[in-house]
Amino acid sequence: MTNQNPLLQKWNTPFETVPFDKIKNEHYLPALEEAIKVAREEIVEIKTNTEKETFNNVIAALDSKGSLIEKVSSVFYNLHSAETNDEMQSIAKEFSPMLTAYSNDVTMDPVLFEKIKVVYDQKGSLNLDPEEATLLENKYSGFVRNGALLKGADRDRFKEIETELSKLRLDFGDHVLKETNAFELLLEAEDDLIGLPEFAIEAAAAAAKEKGREGWMITLDFPSFGPFMKYSERRELREELIKAYASRANHNDSSDNKETLKSIAVLRHERAVLLGYSSHSAFVLEERMAEKPEKVMAFLDDLLDRSFSIAKKEIDDLQTYAEAKGFKDTLQVWDYAFYARLLKKEKFEIDDEILKPYFKLENVIDGVFTVANKLYGLNFKPRTDIAVYHPDVKTYEVQDNEGRHVAIFYADFFPRAGKRNGAWMTCFREQHQGENGDVRPHVMNVCNFSKPTESKPSLLNFGEVQTLFHEFGHGLHGMLSKCKFHGTSGTNVYWDFVELPSQILENWAYEKECLDLFAKHFESGESIPAELIEKIKSSATFHEGRNTVRQLSLGFLDMSWHSADPSSITDVEKHEKEIMKKTELHPAMEGDSISCSFSHIFQGGYSSGYYSYKWAEVLDADAFEFFKEKGIFNKEVADKFRENVLERGGSEHPMILYKRFRGKEPSPEALLKRGGLI
C-alpha cells in the first residue's frame, strides 16, 4: 500500500498539485500512519544531534519537519469540509486522534523541549532577525502551551483532553452538516411561492429536480434559505424555515450537540487550568492583540453602548413601517428580513432583484482578479491540467506581471451535500523557504453561492459579492506570503489580525472605480448605472446598528462559554437566553440554540475569538481610509500594504506590522463613522 499510496509519493503534477483523481478514502489512514512514522524519525534526528544547540539545528529544523504529515492532513481535512461523505466522517474519528497523539508526544518530549529551551534562554545573544525571533518565541511558547512543563498525572490528563477534544470537534461539525442536509421544505402549491423572485423559484425547482421530487425545494443552504426569508409572503413558512435553521443539532437525538458542546467547553477550561490559566479565554487571548478577556469584554461593551440604542430605534421604526403595511403583530425573528428588505427598497430604491443581474459570478471573479492585478500586479491564468476533487472546482495559476509563478488558486463556489455551509479560505500547501528555495503556496477559496439554473447563470446578491471579496482577501494573504518559515507564513498570524486582509478588500466592492471594472448586466452587458452605485453606498449603513448588535451578541455568547468555568451550565438554551438578554432586539424564539450549530467556536478556531471580526473592522476601516486618501488603486499605498502586511504573515507582532504600514495605531473612529454610528 505504501508504494502505491498517492499521498506518500512525489507528485509529478503541474506545480506538485494534489492528484485528487488518484486519491481514495482507503489511502488516508495508511498515509497518515507512515507520515507520522517519518516525522518521528525526523524528531529523533534533532534530539540525537550532538552539536551545540543553535537556532538552525533546533528551531528552524523543527519548523521544517513533519512536511509529510502536513501534506496528508491538509488534503484530508480540506476535503472533510468541502467534499465529505459517511466514510470520510468515519475515517476522521481515527485520523484526528492519531494526529493529536503524535502532536502531544512531540510537544511533551522532555529532550526536545530542553533543546528548545537552551536556544530560547540565549535568545538575547543570537542576533536573530525579527522573523527568526518570532519563530523562536512561537516554538517555545507553543510547547509550553501544549503541556511541555506538565508532569505526571497532569501530563497524562492533558493528553486525554486533547484526544477527546479532537473527537468532539469532529462530532460537532458532523452533526451540524447532517442536520443541515436532512431538512427539506417541499413546496407543492404555487401559492407557496408568493413573493419569491424568479431566481429563487428557479433555484428551488432545480433543487427539487436534483432530489427527484416534484415541486420546489427550499433547504437550509444559505443560497436557498436567505432569499426565502427575505421574499416569501408565506409568514408561517418563514417561521418553519428559520426555526429549522436555528434549531439544528438541538433535537435531543443522535445529532444533538448540547452535550457535545458542553463537553468541549468544560474540557477547554480544564486544559487551561492545567496550564496555569484562569480560563480558556485567558489561555487563548495571551496570543491575540486583545491580550486578555477583560479587554475583549470592554471592547464589546463599548461597541454595544454605542450601537444598541440605534439598533433599538431601527427595529422600532421597522415595526411602525410593518404596521403601516397592514401587519398586526409584534415583529418576530422570521419577519425581520422580509420587512427590512421592503423598507430598504422603499428608502433607497434598491434590493437584490435590482442588483443581482449586474453580479454574474464569473464577472465578479474577473473583477476581483482585476483588483488584484491593479493593486499587486497579479494575473490569474485558468488551468485545465490540474486535478480537482469535484467538477465545480476551478483552478488558476497566479503569476506576476513579469510572468513569474506566484501561487496556485482553487475556487469552489457552489453548495452540495458533502460540503459544510459558509465560506472560508484554506491551503493545500503553505509558502515557505525549502531546501531548493521559495516554495509557493496552493490556496483555495470555498463559498456557497446559488448554482446556475437552466435559464440563468449564477447571480450574486451584494452580500455574496462582499463574501467573495472577503475570502479572496484571505487568499491574497496566503498567495503573497514571502516568509522563511511554515510557522510564520501567510495566515499564521494572531487570530484578531487575520481578518484584516479579508475585511479591507470588501471596501473595494462599494467603490465606483472598482464596480465599473466588472459589474455588467448579464444579458445586456451594460455597466451598472452610477445611480445604483450611489444607492449601494448610501444604503451601506442601513440597519448597521442592528447588524453590529447581532455580531456583538455572538461575541458575548462565545466569551460566555470560554471566559469562566462552564461546568455549572446545565441548560444550553437557558444559558443562551440569559447571555442574549442585553442584545435582544426581537422576542426570544422557542427551541432555537445558536450554540448547537455555532461551528466557528466549537468546531473551528474562533473560540474566544469571535470578537475578532469587529476588532478587525476597526483595523480595516482605519487602513482603508489611507487608501481613500491616496486613491483606492494607489500603487504606493498598495505596495506598503503588500510589503508590511500581506507578505509578512506572522513574522512580527501585528501591531508592529500595522504601524509600519499606516504610520500609527488604528482608531475606532473610522469604523464608527463608516457605519453611521457617529
- Helices 333-348 and 235-246: angle between axes, nearest 10 degrees: 120
286's CB contacts (< 8 A; 6+ apart) are 145, 277, 292
529's CB contacts (< 8 A; 6+ apart) are none
State the CB neighbour count (10 A cutoff) for residue 352: 23
- Give Dmax (Cα) for the chain: 83
The question of whether 573 is a catalytic residue gets the answer no
User: Bridge partners of 407?
Assistant: 398
Collapse the DSSP code of 439 into the 3-class scheme (helix H, G, I; strand E, B; otherwise coil) and give the result: strand
Task: Look at phi and psi of residue 664 and say left if phi exceeds 0, alpha if psi is from -120 to 50, else beta.
Answer: beta
Q: Please tell me the total number of residues recorded for the chain in this structure.
A: 678
CA 580, chain centre distance (Å): 23
Distances (CA, A) of 641 to 194, 496, 658: 48, 17, 9
User: Bridge partners of 429?
Assistant: 442
Per annotation, catalytic residue among 471, 499, 511, 647: 471
648's CB contacts (< 8 A; 6+ apart) are 482, 483, 657
Q: Report strand pairing: 394-400 vs 405-412.
A: antiparallel
CA distance 564 to 569: 11
Continuous segment of H or E residues that includes residue 187 = strand 185-187
DSSP state of 529: P
C-alpha cell at position 228: 426565502
Of 418, 450, 412, nearest to 225 (Cα)? 450
C-alpha cell at position 283: 489561555
State the CB neighbour count (10 A cutoff) for residue 330: 10
Task: Look at phi and psi of residue 297 and say left if phi exceeds 0, alpha if psi is from -120 to 50, else beta.
Answer: alpha
Apex 501 CA angle, 443 and 531, nearest 5: 110
Map 208-275 to HEC letters.
HHHCCCCCEEECCCHHHHHHHHHHCCCHHHHHHHHHHHHCCCCCCCCCCCHHHHHHHHHHHHHHHHHC
CA distance 16 to 14: 5
483's CB contacts (< 8 A; 6+ apart) are 131, 431, 432, 433, 489, 490, 647, 648, 649, 650, 651
φ, ψ of residue 579 to 5 degrees: the values are: -70, -40
Of 529, 536, 513, nearest to 630 (Cα)? 513
- Give the active site residues: 471
